[in-house]
Structure 1
Amino acid sequence: MHPPRPTYIVGIDLGTSHTVAASVGVAGVAADIELLNMAQRSTAGEVISQALLPSVRYQAAPGELGDSWQQPWPPQGADVQAPAVIGRWARDLGAAVPGRLVASAKSWLSHTGVDRTAPILPWGAGDDVAKLSPLAASASYLAHVKAAWDRAHPEAPLHQQSVVLTVPASFDEGARALTLEAAQLAGLPGVQLLEEPKAAFHDWLVLQGEQLAPQLADSRLVLVVDVGGGTTDLTLIRVAKALDGGLPTLTRTAVGEHLMLGGDNMDLALAHQLELAFADEGSKLPAQRFAQLVQRCRMAKEQLLAADAPDHVSITLLGGGSRLLAATQTATLTRGQVQQQVVEGFLPPAQITDLPSKRQGALRGFGLPYPADAAISRHLAQFLSLQAGGALPDTVLLNGGVFHAHALVERLTDLLSRWRGSPVRVLHNPHPDWAVARGAAAYGLARVQAERQAASEVNQPAAQAQKAPAAIKNSIPHIGGGAARSYWLLLPGKKGETPQGLCLLPRGTEEGVRIVLSGRRFALKLGQAVRFNLLANSQSHAPVQAGQIAPLMGDGWVELPPLATVLPAPEGVAAAQVEVQLQACMSEVGTLEVRCVAVQDAAQSWLLPFAVRGAVSSETIAVSADASSAEGQKSLNSLAAKLPEAVALIDRIFGAQAQEVTGKEVRQLRPSLEKILGPRDSWDVGLLRALFDALLSRAKRRRRTADHERVWLNLAGWCLRPGVGAELDGWRITQVWALYAAGLGHAKESANWTEWWVFWRRVAAGLNEAQQMELLEDVADQMQKAVQQTTRSGGKTSHGSYDDMLRLFAAMEAVPWQYRQEMGQWMLQRLKRPDETVQTWWAIGRLAARQSLAANAHRVMPPEAAQEFLNATLAQDWRKNETAMFAVVQMARMTGDRARDLPDEVRAQVLEKMRSSGAPERWIAMVEQVVQMQAEDQKRSLGDSLPPGLVLL
């Protein structure tokens, strides 16, 4: 059976601050577009319906809300143990208790530095707060919209309608894919994506009716500036007047890069300014109270920027605990202060030649990657200089809630007029809060009209198929332009040469047009890890063709999430290879789609998914700029002639056919590889993972002898360390975890146990919580046996040394911090023994560190829990115990995130003792400010060097 035909077109604006939905019947006209009033609680006893659904979620404590949270309906993912509400009431509750408020989920959904599918929100909340992922939070807002629609239209459930969901024009393919996944989780599997600036312009178009052509008669280049709660989106649309007096031709010619800058940043700037009025001199507010201040500033900003704004607003912060009222503080925020901070801070005067500053400003907070320069005016100048091709826009459309402030509108239009030397025309936007949702519905209606017109032209003679006047009156012009960026496949090249790329999809390619790169073929490995590195460019206007190879030079190149997967091999075959061509298109739903099509059988194809899951955290491993995937590919290519020789050597030791090799040859495998490839410390990420894949495919033969097993564990662990950082490492970890249950083949060999623990320590960062918990239980049992050994034996057992187990213990960053706290307390007791190893101080430093290696930052032990370990370490004589001093560096290191940083007064105490103890300046800098850890300290912290090409952010 075919699914029911939709009767409505529904546009949904999933905004950072608010979510809005609008609809129109498929047989309707633009004038029929109406907003959906969504039921939501305003208080415990009142349900209201309004068009704006605040995009926030309050994670209540059990019993806090009674039963009222379940009405008008339970939000997705909520249960009796973890009640949650969405919308107006959630926003008001969160203003009082910000530590339970999930906000800016859309910004987190586009944050590539965290695992957007992990439960990390509310950011910095205590363990008594139930957390959820940015993906789940976004899905819950869409589920609320779906429930509201289904209640209002029981005869036409939302999942059966044509749904257009908007995203920022600057969202990369990873963020778009996750937005589609959020819709699927909410029960909306067939949505189409539309860029928000295009949607806002569509709304303006339909509001003009018959006056559209005259309204745009004098416009040639329209700039759409959409400043929302979390992002600033810039789009240029060229207007070509119709020769026959009909509707003009509209072409989107450029979009800006992803700019996480909006109303949230303005609130943050105001909170930083007022913090001095609430914090003790020389200190900062705790994370929870600062979050409360940000919420208060948001409400005050809206009041003070309104048309009928008062002169000032009082901002009150409640105290905490038993001092709730006694510690209440109040400060005054004036209209002049807001004007100064918001207008002068975010739209300062600028020249068209100005560039954004590269230095980080004062907008750090809540773990989001805000841009270094908060001046939207300088970002706009750079965009126009690069994109307008010498012609500056003569018309501007402003959208987003911040443009309710007349001062911002006036400043922006003055800047544009000054840059072009004549006044810029401002298109009237009567409702910037819901223009995007209305425009999405209008866009969907335009598509329906276009399909009907196409069908009419097929079924009628050309003379009869001309549009009647009424049809022109009700039609909505299409905004063409196709893909906003060109997409390129990075090609391997020789080291030192400019990287080259293969154009997969030229800029301007229309949706649904499939391009097959028939002139180039690839050997695709099935049953093994494959990866294609992609880049996009929205700045270059040079004409290119699909399949063209060109150097990747100039500005505007953005690295996309790679296309990475393991494609299934034929049944019963471990690995296979097939010759393929690449096929690319901008799909109908608005996302880049790349397929591998078999040359021998075009019916056989594989869709390559973007690697957007399991991203490493904002303080974890990433490919560095000078040793990125491009550099890794070049380096690997330069060793291409030597790699087969190295793999052949591995195959000689671990291959399927047992060869006559001596124990000495087995033990000399690593030195032999170094003769071919150079010192192992110089092996970069691409080479390491290639060697690991060769070892993994031969893992079954690792047990031939005790020497084979030791060498395999040592070399494989080195090549996979630290278990994350390269694409497909998640798949590799899944493969090696399957070896864990099998255990050692030569378990009576103490040296093999040592390599066993070292192997798992090296790759521990890639293990998930369940895997680390299982490993933790096993190593804890063995440690208990080790500590029972006599001092004379050095704590050694047949299961390896105590020190190796201790170091593995401390590497378990994915387990809940309470377990690490318990481990640390046990270690503090052990330190009372005179024979305890100095490695215990190293382990304590790792357990209570402010920055983790690969677990998300929400796993870090809270500052208050780390205090007892800090106190114990402060009691040491650091001149005699440098390991304890370095442990303090890790525990007191500054991250810039209030949820993790120690209080200022505590860090001041640490800094004082470090200086008096002669600490290295680089250690002092790590406690005093946000800096990158140097390589020698990374090695000391992790117990191993990082592979060349991976850095700690």
Structure 2
Amino acid sequence: MTVNSTQPAYIVGIDLGTSHTVVASVSLTGAAGDIALLDIPQRSAAGEVVALPLLPSVRYQAAPGELGDSWQQPWPPQGADEAAPAVIGRWARDLGTAVPGRLVASAKSWLSHTGVDRTAPILPWGADEEVVKVSPLAASSSYLAHVKAAWDKAHPEAPLQAQTVVLTVPASFDEGARALTLEAAQLAGLPGVQLLEEPKAAFHDWLLLQGEQLAAQLADSRLVLVVDVGGGTTDLTLIRVEADPEGGLPTLTRTAVGEHLMLGGDNMDLALAHQLEPAFADEGNKLPAQRFAQLVQRCRVAKEQLLAQDAPEQLSITLLGGGSRLLAQTQTATLTRTQVQSRVVEGFLPPAQISDVPAKRQGALRGFGLPYPADAAISRHLAQFLSLHAGGALPDTVLLNGGVFHAHALVQRLTDLLGQWRGKAVRVLHNPHPDWAVARGAAAYGLARVQAELQEKSEVNRPAVQAQQALAAIKTMIPRIGGGAARSYWLLLPGKKGQAPQGLCLLPRGTEEGVRIVLSGRRFALKLGQAVRFNLLANSQSSVPVQAGQIAPLTGDGWVELPPLATVLPVPEGLAAAQVEVQLQASMSEVGTLEVRCVAVQDAAQSWLLPFAVRGAVAAENIAASADASSAEEPKGLNSQATRLPEALALIERIFGTQAQEVTAKEVRQLRQSLEKVLGPREGWEVGLLRALFDALLARAKRRRRTAEHERVWLNLAGWCLRPGVGAELDGWRMAQVWALYPQGLGHGKEAANWTEWWVFWRRVAAGLNEEQQMQVLEAVAGQMQKTVQQTTRAGGKSSHGSYDDMLRLFAAMEAVPWQYRQEMGQWMLQRLEREGETVQTWWAIGRLAVRQSLAANAHLVMPPEAAQEFLDATLAQDWRKNETAMFAAVQMARMTGDRARDLPDAVREQVLEKMRSSGAPQRWIELVEQVVQMEAEDHKRSLGDSLPPGLVLL
């Protein structure tokens, strides 16, 4: 690499942290010889702007007029207009301490949360309706946009987008989170950033600080453990050190990284808030979500002060009241330094043995919808990590990074544990600035790349000399940390029921960046113009060497399902075939992300990059293919299902095929029974068979209207085979084909039975519809329900548009629409229940409308607890011994999720529990309301309205 007027003048490292964002840079022009921090202008109050190296990674969504004109300065303004003003940084944090319901925090954690749509406006989580929300992606992008504006103001001659920018991410971020991080940078005007794992960045900073003493400093180290505990994640990394026999720089190789562990300073704040909560809440109750969020903010500030070097003995924590009783309801409690150290040290680094493993039962550190690990003990997670990856050679050296390690007690406990496990003390590498080591290390990593490239140059020109002079001023050469890909990546292959699934290795662990691997021995038929989906998994735990192209059972621990590679690939000009034979090519890109490309066998110039499906994938992730079928009992007749599929397809062809055949109406009506004679009872048809049958029905959809019987049978059988509309390979494409049939409607609309099957079909596949599509169905069914009610209230009236019960059930299945629509419909249903003879299915529908845990939609679309209370009260007024359906509706509405934004108040749930016990409720229902547990298959079926196909599970 050479440096000239068209090339970057700076290397810039950005630590986009959960709590703070930090920027560091080094000049390549020879004008500066050290890494400098960027002081980032930000408001500290309405009339004051300060420039600080730490930019709090928070965003305050103000009310109209709340900030005056201050929200427009400094640059760029984050609100789209005065109706949605927003401010970032220190002032946002202070404003959010007083009004936490408007504060967007932990956006980085939300960006890695696969259980929500990370591109949807869901933050602040649980905020009131009047608060304008933003997506985790948009929030992350806004922090980077603020950084870009600050840099460009300070360096007008060298805009940030023209520099070498290294952006850090947790080592445990999966490919979806990395792809979204890159997209956040692009939205902020930074299209060419490189990604770097945070523990590697922290270690690069330490390497840089050693100067000419680097080799001597690492002479006695063989295995370095980097423990990086940030605001939202704990990252664990092992780096092997091999000394140079000639006294040169050592060789450094990253050998292992930990799994994604959403555990950090945020959890410590939650733990302190839980400890103080009884002092502020009424006896036996919990604080409302907004008040608890305020307490967490107060505890965060107090924690930082009480863990500081010259910490006071104690601090007062004050919560203001609300509304007209602002001062009257003000409460104060005391938090001592001893309490903080005890709660944090004993709660997060308790004594542990090297053989310990994390607990599986969910602890109490939940509060705002994020999937925190069940066990908060970092010590047990660390023990498991070292047992898996270090073997008998435990680390002899440790580098600690992150603001929590300002607390000496945490440092002491962690190093004592490592020494105990190893049998002798470990060496602790001094980190003088854990708050900004990652940003500095990102810049140092960029320097190491420049050094390596300069050493490879045979021709030295003037710009290269300038760069060498700048690097010489650093007074050290920085070794790069090798190791390549931290995980192996696998393509999931179809497996036989009762056997472990198999995978095809795309990229072995350790593959270096930029190395492209072509699976020349494996070929795939790629359909163009249709949906393509590859299911991927990653593994960082297995120590068994593998090779690209190897097929192996996916057994053991450590398998992580990645967002699928899914897209619809266009047919290139001049290529007539809708299908082309391809080979897969995989690489770890220079920016640090996995890339999978399909290369045409006949023409290598034709290739298609497969993007990760990170948008709208919630339903597919909540209803996912079971990854472990090895312990499942094989249903009877399963082996015969595959072998007898051609016979089943022949039956479908006979009824819906193109050839005119003598088929009686009775044969059409009995198609399902005929298939069951061939394949066994339909409840045992596994998902692969179901989708094969559906594809056959879809290919013959044009003939579904031959007769009214044809149409009814097609809708009934197709809905059963496609339920719940997501979860299997290519379901997105299937739903797109099905939705094209919706405007066509029924061919035999005068048949009430056909309308019933129409409603049943769309209920069964509703999870695969997006919000817009569900709204269309909802509007149609609402109108027909009104007509049905009018018809059936007349003397002897009969509905001409199908079953009222099935319309109710369809409406309740529309989980992706805004909850206000479901609330309005629920209120109409309550009015209907005042009439004699109203169907019991109305209670079932109300339970689905106000459910706490969606079956297939994003959690932020759940009806808020205060809105659900109306419907719960109605169920409580029923005699549950005589109306079990009303009791099950109450179970769905009072079910505990662990998310304060969705859970009903403890006192309300206790009221439900008391009535359940006195009414003889099943113990499994009681447990759903008492604690966070999974719903059993029988109750899933009751809640969903149908059983799930074998091979699909609701998480």
Fold-level match, TM-score > 0.5? Answer: yes
Change (3 A) 1:467 1:91: closer
Of 856, 861, 873, the match for 1:871: 873
Change (3 A) 1:695 1:138: farther
Residue deviations 1:280-335, cap 9 Å, x none? Answer: 11111111111111111111111111110110111011112222111111111111
Q: Report the equivalent of 1:256.
A: 258
Q: Is the 8 A contact 1:616 1:724 kept in 2?
A: no
Give the Å deviation of 1:29.
9.1
Give the Å deviation of 1:106.
0.9
AA of the residue aligned to 1:137: A
Q: Report the equivalent of 2:511.
A: 509
Structure 1: distance between partners of 2:190 and 2:157: 16
Q: Report the equivalent of 2:681.
A: 679
Give the Å deviation of 1:835.
3.2
Q: Report the equivalent of 1:25.
A: 27
Q: Report the equivalent of 1:499.
A: 501
AA of the residue aligned to 2:27: G
Structure 1: distance between partners of 2:285 and 2:620: 25
Q: Is the 8 A contact 1:506 1:544 kept in 2?
A: yes
Give the Å deviation of 1:232.
0.7
Structure 2: distance between partners of 1:629 and 1:554: 13
Q: Is the 8 A contact 2:397 2:427 kept in 1?
A: yes
Q: Report the equivalent of 1:322.
A: 324
Structure 1: distance between partners of 2:314 and 2:40: 33
Q: Is the 8 A contact 2:15 2:167 kept in 1?
A: yes
SS of aligned partner of 1:788: helix
Change (3 A) 1:582 1:620: closer
Q: Report the equivalent of 1:579.
A: 581
SS of aligned partner of 1:741: helix
Change (3 A) 1:698 1:447: farther
Give the Å deviation of 1:183.
1.3
SS of aligned partner of 1:226: strand
Change (3 A) 1:810 1:537: closer
Give the Å deviation of 1:657.
5.2
Q: Is the 8 A contact 1:565 1:728 kept in 2?
A: no
Change (3 A) 1:705 1:292: same
Q: Report the equivalent of 2:533.
A: 531
Residue deviations 1:854-909, cap 9 Å, x none? Answer: 22121111121122222222222222222222222222222221111111222222
SS of aligned partner of 1:541: coil
Q: Report the equivalent of 2:81.
A: 79
Give the Å deviation of 1:75.
4.3
Q: Does 1:102 align with 2:118?
A: no
Residue deviations 1:133-161, cap 9 Å, x none? Answer: 21121111111111211222222222222
Residue deviations 1:47-104, cap 9 Å, x none? Answer: 1111111111111122221221111124446332111111111111111111111111
Structure 2: distance between partners of 1:25 and 1:572: 49
Q: Report the equivalent of 2:765.
A: 763
Using the size of structure 2 for normalisation, the TM-score is 0.94
Question: Any gaps of 5 or more consecutive residues in structure 1?
Answer: 461-465
Structure 1: distance between partners of 2:379 and 2:947: 43
Structure 2: distance between partners of 1:746 and 1:921: 47
Q: Is the 8 A contact 2:27 2:470 kept in 1?
A: no
Change (3 A) 1:703 1:274: same
Q: Report the equivalent of 1:886.
A: 888
Q: Report the equivalent of 1:668.
A: 670
Give the Å deviation of 1:717.
1.6
* Between 72-81 and 422-431, the greater mean CA deviation after superposition: 72-81
Q: Report the equivalent of 1:463.
A: none
Percent of aligned pairs sharing the same letter? 87
Q: Report the equivalent of 1:708.
A: 710
Q: Report the equivalent of 2:943.
A: 941
AA of the residue aligned to 1:670: R
Give the Å deviation of 1:802.
2.1
SS of aligned partner of 1:819: helix
Matches within 5 A, 1:159-238: 159-238=161-240
Structure 2: distance between partners of 1:341 and 1:827: 48
Matches within 5 A, 1:648-667: 648-655=650-657, 661-667=663-669
Change (3 A) 1:834 1:407: same
Q: Is the 8 A contact 1:267 1:298 kept in 2?
A: yes
Q: Does 1:549 align with 2:551?
A: yes
Residue deviations 1:463-497, cap 9 Å, x none? Answer: xxx99995994432111111111222233333333
Q: Is the 8 A contact 1:396 1:427 kept in 2?
A: yes
SS of aligned partner of 2:119: coil
Give the Å deviation of 1:30.
8.7
Matches within 5 A, 1:790-939: 790-791=792-793, 796-939=798-941
Q: Is the 8 A contact 2:637 2:680 kept in 1?
A: no
Q: Report the equivalent of 1:518.
A: 520
Q: Report the equivalent of 1:481.
A: 483
Q: Is the 8 A contact 2:676 2:682 kept in 1?
A: yes
Structure 1: distance between partners of 2:575 and 2:828: 49
AA of the residue aligned to 1:216: L
AA of the residue aligned to 1:833: R
Structure 2: distance between partners of 1:386 and 1:832: 62
Q: Report the equivalent of 2:71.
A: 69
AA of the residue aligned to 1:276: P
Q: Is the 8 A contact 1:620 1:852 kept in 2?
A: no
SS of aligned partner of 1:789: helix
Q: Report the equivalent of 1:364.
A: 366
SS of aligned partner of 2:744: coil
Residue deviations 1:343-372, cap 9 Å, x none? Answer: 111111222222222222221221111112
Q: Report the equivalent of 1:341.
A: 343
Q: Report the equivalent of 2:721.
A: 719
Q: Report the equivalent of 2:465.
A: none
* Between 103-112 and 935-944, the greater mean CA deviation after superposition: 935-944
Structure 2: distance between partners of 1:293 and 1:628: 46
Of 92, 95, 98, the match for 2:94: 92
Using the size of structure 1 for normalisation, the TM-score is 0.94
Structure 2: distance between partners of 1:236 and 1:539: 13
Change (3 A) 1:150 1:659: farther
Structure 2: distance between partners of 1:213 and 1:578: 54
Structure 1: distance between partners of 2:620 and 2:731: 18
Q: Is the 8 A contact 1:527 1:575 kept in 2?
A: no
Residue deviations 1:225-269, cap 9 Å, x none? Answer: 100001111111111112222211111111111111111111111
Structure 2: distance between partners of 1:69 and 1:818: 31
AA of the residue aligned to 2:711: E
SS of aligned partner of 1:128: coil
* Between 494-503 and 55-64, the greater mean CA deviation after superposition: 494-503
* Between 562-571 and 68-77, the greater mean CA deviation after superposition: 562-571
Of 429, 432, 438, the match for 1:430: 432
Give the Å deviation of 1:646.
3.4
Of 559, 566, 569, the match for 1:567: 569
Q: Report the equivalent of 1:614.
A: 616
Residue deviations 1:566-592, cap 9 Å, x none? Answer: 333578999843222221111111111
- The size of the alignment, in residue pairs, is 947
Structure 2: distance between partners of 1:370 and 1:678: 42
Change (3 A) 1:409 1:790: closer
Give the Å deviation of 1:770.
2.1
Change (3 A) 1:663 1:53: same
Q: Report the equivalent of 1:643.
A: 645
Structure 2: distance between partners of 1:592 and 1:918: 54
Q: Report the equivalent of 1:389.
A: 391
Q: Is the 8 A contact 1:116 1:615 kept in 2?
A: no
Change (3 A) 1:425 1:372: same
Change (3 A) 1:27 1:571: closer
Q: Is the 8 A contact 1:795 1:801 kept in 2?
A: no
SS of aligned partner of 2:579: strand
Structure 1: distance between partners of 2:56 and 2:629: 42
Q: Report the equivalent of 2:788.
A: 786
AA of the residue aligned to 2:100: P
Q: Report the equivalent of 1:441.
A: 443
Structure 2: distance between partners of 1:47 and 1:231: 30
Structure 2: distance between partners of 1:934 and 1:450: 57
AA of the residue aligned to 1:312: Q
Give the Å deviation of 1:806.
1.9
Structure 2: distance between partners of 1:910 and 1:496: 41
